[in-house]
Structure 1
Amino acid sequence: MPDAIRTMFAGDVISAKLASAHVTISGNRYLLFQAKSLNATIEKDKKEVPILGRLLKGNKSVGAKGSGTLRIYKNTSLFDDMIMDFVNNGVDTYFDMQISNEDPTAKAGRRTVILTNCNIDKMTVAAFDADGDWLEDEISFTFEGLQIPEKFTLLDGMQA
C-alpha cells in the first residue's frame, strides 16, 4: 500500500494577527503598534527571449522592484514628519521596516523580514469621516532591499 497522503494540521496555520512591526528612521527604532495591515511584494522585471526552434518564447529576469502598502491607525506623526521634511526642505527620508510573524500554536516558529531603504510614495495628510469609526491611513511605499534573518521551520511531513 502506498504511503498515506500527509496533510497539514490546522494548528500550524499562522495567525495573521500575531505579528509585530518596527520602523527604523534616522537610527531611531519604533514599535509600530499602529499598524493594521501590511502587504509588501517583489515584482520581477522580465524580458522575452525568442529561441530558435521553439514556438514558445523564454523569459529572462533582468531586475526587480519592491513595493507595498501599510495601513495604520492614524495616531502617529512619524510618517507625517517624513513627508513634511520632503515638502518643506527637499529631504527625502529612507527607513527600514521589520515585520515578524509568530503564532505560538504553530510548529513553523517565527519568520522575520526586514525591508530596507523604504521610501513613501503616497499617504494621506488630512482626513475625516462623519460616518466613520476612526482615522486610518494607507501608506504606499517602495523598498530597495530585503533580508529574511529568521525563516519558518519546515513542517513535519513537508520533506518528500
Structure 2
Amino acid sequence: MKTLNAPDTISGKEGRAYAKVNGNNEELFMSKTIEATVEKSKSEVKAIGKRMTGHKTTGGNGTGSMTLYYLTPLFRNMVKTWKETGQDIYFDMVVENDDQESSAGKQSVLLIGCNLDSVVLAKLDGDSDDPLDEDVDFTFEDFDILTPFTKF
C-alpha cells in the first residue's frame, strides 16, 4: 500500500517561469502566482433507452492568471504596442515546478500563444503597507508538457 510522504509534495515557491516575447526570453521573477487551466467543452449526448445524459468532449479553452509584483513594464508595453499599432502580441510561456526535495521530480509546461486579457496601467494604494501587486489574466491557444512529474 502506497502512502504519501510529506517531502514529496510540491512547494509552490520552488520553480520559475519564462515568457518568450518577440524572440526575447523574459524571466518572470516578479511573479507571486501563476496558474493555467484547460476547460474542456462538452456536448450532451442523449439516447433512447438511457436515463443518464452522456457527454462528448468537443474542444477546450486555455485560460490563465498571474499575480505579479507591480514593477515590470513588460505587459504594459505589450498593451501599449497594441493600442498604437493595432498589432496584438502573442507569446509563449514556460512554467517549471522544480522542488529538489520531492521525488516527483521537475515538471515543465509550455503555454503556447498566450494573449493578455487585462493589464493594470497605474496603481496606488495608500491603505496598504504591502508591496503593490497586479493581477494579469490571459488565454492560451495550445500547450505541451515538456517534462512531466515522475509517475508515483
Normalised-by-shorter TM-score class: over 0.9
Amino acid at match of 1:135: L
CA RMSD of aligned residues (A): 0.8
SS in 2 for 1:82: helix
Percentage of matched positions with identical amino acids: 38
Q: Which runs of 4+ in 1 moved over 4 A?
A: none
Structure 2 distance, partners of 1:18, 1:104, is 8
Which residue is equivalent to 2:141?
A: 144
Give unpaired runs (5+ residues) of structure 1.
156-160
Residue 6 of structure 1, CA deviation: 2.1
User: Structure 1-normalised TM-score?
Assistant: 0.92
Write out per-residue CA displacement over residues 53-110 of structure 1, whole angstroms, 9 at most, x where no aligned residue: 1011110111110001111011111101100011121110000110000111111110
SS in 1 for 2:12: coil
Structure 2 distance, partners of 1:48, 1:9, is 40
Amino acid at match of 2:23: G
Structure 2 distance, partners of 1:6, 1:30, is 40
**1:90 matches 2:86:** yes
Amino acid at match of 1:62: T
Amino acid at match of 1:118: C
SS in 2 for 1:55: coil
Structure 2 distance, partners of 1:134, 1:91, is 32
**1:75 matches 2:68:** no
Amino acid at match of 2:75: F
Structure 2 distance, partners of 1:128, 1:11, is 40
**1:52 matches 2:48:** yes
Residue 115 of structure 1, CA deviation: 0.3
Residue 111 of structure 1, CA deviation: 0.2
Give unpaired runs (5+ residues) of structure 2.
none
Which residue is equivalent to 1:134?
A: 131
Which residue is equivalent to 1:110?
A: 106
